[in-house]
Amino acid sequence: METFTSWRTWDDARPDLLSAASGAYRPVIPVLDRAAAAAVRWHGDQLRPTGVPYVEHLLEALEVQVRGPGVQDPDVLVATLLHDVVEDTGASLGDVEKEFGPVVAELVDWVTKPPAEEGGGGGRAAKRAAKAAYLRRLRDAPREAILVKLADRVSNVQRLDQMPPDFQKRYYAETVTYVQPLAEGEPWFAAWFAGWSTHFGHLR
């Protein structure tokens, strides 16, 4: 199973993008410079559950897009770097649109999980139901937003065995049920998730 963990900082990613054989990524470097800086600024010192800087997740997702299906759409690449800023930081969709335009803001909006309703009760079950509804809604998302979500999930599940056992089973089921079907129209992602689901098949 191929994993994507080479780009831990933007200084790691940038030279690889510049030296890509086709030169296809050179025109998008300036906007990716800005997006990477914005991601660092907005996420600050946030950490992933594994204890590493949060920006590593964003760069993993970008590496997936580039080294996996070879996505070159600048809006998709920028949205991939910024996909969690509205959900997990103080940045708003308006902030994203102001700096990166309405298309990027729309893509980020599609992949942003709605906040839990205050006073709604229900605890974990209610939160899981709300997340399932959000994931089902992605079936209606434009292809570009689905690409962002798929790259995000590849980063999140490629090292699923580093997470607590109960989380592993739950997240495996969620991925197979809601996210893997989104990859059906994307050959590279479909093949990757097929291999991944087999690799972690013991979690069924």
Catalytic residue positions, numbered? 87-88
What does the alpha-carbon distance between residue 18 and residue 188 come to, in Å, rounded to a whole number?
Answer: 23
- Backbone CA torsion sign across 57, 17, 65, 194: negative
What does the alpha-carbon distance between residue 76 and residue 90 come to, in Å, rounded to a whole number?
Answer: 22
3-state secondary structure 111-172: CCCCCCCCCCCCHHHHHHHHHHHHHHHHHHCCHHHHHHHHHHHHHHHCCHHHCCHHHHHHHH
Here the tokens at position 186 are 């994307």
